[in-house]
Structure 1
Amino acid sequence: MSVSKYSNIELSDVRGVLIDLDDTLYVYQVNHDHALKEVHKELFSDMDYSEFSQLYRNARNTVTQRLMPQGACRSRLFAFQTVFETLGTQQPFVRAYVADALYWDSFIANMALAPAADAFLARCEALGLPVCVVSDMTAHVQIRKIEKLGLTGRITHLVTSEEVGAEKPDALMFQAGMRKLGIHRGEDAIMIGDSLDKDIIGAQAINIKAYQVSLTQEF
Structure 2
Amino acid sequence: MKYRYIFVDLDNTLLDFEAAEEYSFYYTAQSRGLSFGEAELERYQAINAPLWKMMERREITKEALVVRRFRELFEELGITGIDPAQYNADYLNNLALCTRTIDGAEELCRFIHENGVLIIATNGVSATQHRRIAASGLEPWLDKVVVSDDAGAEKPDPRYFERAFAVSGAGDKSECIIIGDSLTSDIKGGQQFGIDTCWFNPKGKALPEDMPAPTYTVSGLSEFIDILNGKDL
Same fold (TM over 0.5): yes
Length-normalised TM-score, structure 1 = 0.75
Q: Aligned in 2, Cα 1:68/1:141: closer, same or farther, shift over 3 Å?
A: farther
Distance 1:157 1:68 in 2: 29
Q: Aligned in 2, Cα 1:182/1:40: closer, same or farther, shift over 3 Å?
A: same
Q: Which residue of 2 aligns with 1:38?
A: 27
- Give the C-alpha shift of residue 209 in structure 1: 1.1
% identical aligned pairs: 20
- Give the C-alpha shift of residue 23 in structure 1: 0.6
| Residues 110-159 of structure 1: CA deviation (Å, up to 9, x unaligned) | 322223121111111221x2221111211111111111112332222222
- Report how many aligned residue pairs link the two structures: 202
Q: Which residue of 2 aligns with 1:200?
A: 187
Aligned with residue 92 of structure 1, among 83, 88, 102: 83
Segments of 5+ residues of structure 2 without an aligned counterpart are: 204-218, 222-233
Q: Which residue of 2 aligns with 1:21?
A: 10
Distance 1:197 1:52 in 2: 26
Q: Aligned in 2, Cα 1:44/1:55: closer, same or farther, shift over 3 Å?
A: farther
| Residues 65-84 of structure 1: CA deviation (Å, up to 9, x unaligned) | 58745443553x55335555
Q: Is the 8 A contact 1:71 1:163 kept in 2?
A: no
Q: Aligned in 2, Cα 1:135/1:69: closer, same or farther, shift over 3 Å?
A: farther
Q: Which has the higher contact order (CA 8 A, sep 6+)?
A: 1
- Give the C-alpha shift of residue 51 in structure 1: 5.9
**SS class of match (1:168):** coil
Aligned with residue 218 of structure 1, among 217, 220, 233: 220
- Give the C-alpha shift of residue 50 in structure 1: 5.2
Distance 2:43 2:186 in 1: 29
Q: Does 1:113 align with 2:104?
A: no
How big is the alpha-carbon RMSD for the aligned residues of Structure 1 and Structure 2?
3.0
Q: Which residue of 1 aligns with 2:162?
A: 175
Distance 1:54 1:165 in 2: 30
Q: Is the 8 A contact 1:63 1:73 kept in 2?
A: no
Segments of 5+ residues of structure 1 without an aligned counterpart are: 1-10
Q: Aligned in 2, Cα 1:71/1:163: closer, same or farther, shift over 3 Å?
A: farther
Distance 1:92 1:56 in 2: 16
Q: Which residue of 2 aligns with 1:72?
A: 63
Length-normalised TM-score, structure 2 = 0.71
- Give the C-alpha shift of residue 185 in structure 1: 2.1
Distance 1:162 1:155 in 2: 18
Q: Is the 8 A contact 1:85 1:92 kept in 2?
A: no
**SS class of match (2:163):** helix
Q: Does 1:154 align with 2:145?
A: no
| Residues 37-89 of structure 1: CA deviation (Å, up to 9, x unaligned) | 1222232535x5356436644664686558745443553x5533555577574
Q: Is the 8 A contact 1:134 1:160 kept in 2?
A: yes
Q: Does 1:124 align with 2:118?
A: no
